[in-house]
């Protein structure tokens, strides 16, 4: 019955900041927690906890995440200041996709969804062309 067992989940500004950055980046890339989980092996609920600053992030986990998010590890550990999403952006992307405004990026994603949808429905409708 200890009101404060000790390092209760949450309440660590550093961890929260880290989680926040991880979430922002994931959102920016349009990935779901599930996808991140699949790609990294980190349990989905853990991804959720991490982003809420309720769970620590192991070094190697952070490394995997950084890789998946295409950012240097330091990006997530940096000191407040140098934490701008737009900057470090996507190094290995086709030129056509870099430098898009957030709004345009959204449009591109929607368009891509549309294309995939169209392809899927075509296939569904007429299996054997």
For the segment 4-23, give every residue that binds DNA (CB under 7 A): 5-9, 23
- How far apart are the C-alpha atoms of 39 and 68, rounded to whole Å? 8
Question: Smallest distance, Å, CB 30 to a second copy?
Answer: 3
Cβ(57)–Cβ(48) below 8 Å? no
- How far apart are the C-alpha atoms of 109 and 14, rounded to whole Å? 32
- How far apart are the C-alpha atoms of 55 and 64, rounded to whole Å? 16
Question: Smallest distance, Å, CB 81 to DNA?
Answer: 25
The residues that touch a second copy, with contacts defined as CB under 8 A, are 12, 14-15, 18, 29-32, 35, 39, 56-63, 67-70, 72-74, 76-77, 85-86, 88-97, 99-101, 104, 107-113, 115-116, 119
């Amino acid at each position: 019955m200890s009101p404060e067992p000790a390092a209760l989940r949450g309440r660590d500004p550093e961890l929260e900041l880290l989680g926040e950055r991880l979430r922002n980046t994931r959102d920016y890339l349009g990935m779901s927690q599930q996808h991140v989980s699949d790609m990294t092996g980190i349990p989905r609920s853990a991804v959720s906890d991490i982003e809420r600053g309720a769970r620590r992030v192991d070094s190697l986990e952070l490394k995997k995440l950084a890789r998946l998010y295409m950012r240097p590890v330091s990006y997530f550990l940096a000191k407040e200041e140098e934490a701008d999403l737009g900057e470090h952006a996507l190094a290995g992307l086709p030129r056509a996709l870099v430098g898009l405004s957030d709004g345009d990026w959204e449009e591109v994603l929607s368009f891509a969804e549309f294309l995939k949808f169209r392809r899927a429905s075509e296939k569904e409708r007429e299996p054997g062309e």
